[in-house]
Amino acid sequence: MLLGIKNVKEIVEELNNYLADLNVFYGKLHNLHWNVEGKEFFTVHENVEKIYDKVNEEIDEIAERILTLGQRPKVKYSEYLEISNIKEIESKGYNGKEVIDVIISDFEYIINKIRNIIEKASENNDEVTADILTGSLAYYEKTAWMLNAMNK
């Protein structure tokens, strides 16, 4: 039993699905970063960049965790698009409120996804995955709160 984890394949499947979500979200954040318009441009543009930098770090951490569990992370965008619950959006102009609304909606999904993976990881004695994702959960919850405050 690898690292004492009961069901490595179940955890890796969850992590690969999450990795797909993160990669689609990462591309979506670039779209929003590049296409924000209006009086909130500077503030929103700068903050979206901070978010996608954090998501990029998390992508690497999740892929490395999958490798640590003795499996391979998914890497094809075609697979990501097939299994991700986060959807792409059109390349067009978005005002600041629209950008924040899109991000908050995806954050809500991500927060719930993380909670589900933490629960499964805990059930399978995978404390490391649960710990990694607990840190991510704290980031997404705090950032969602800040974005909601910014969007009032």
Question: pTM value?
Answer: 0.94
Q: Supply the range of the domain harboring residue 128.
A: 2-150
Evaluate if residue 3 carries a pLDDT over 80: no
- Give residue-wise pLDDT tens across range 83-113: 999 999 999 999 999 999 999 999 999 999 9
CATH number at residue 66: 1.20.1260.10
**Which residues, at least 6 apart from 130, have a Cβ–Cβ distance to it below 8 Å?**
118, 121, 122
Report phi then psi at 92, rounded to 5: -155, 175
Quick one: tokens of 29?
């954040």
Provide the β-strand partners of residue 94.
36
Instruction: State the total domains in the chain.
Output: 1
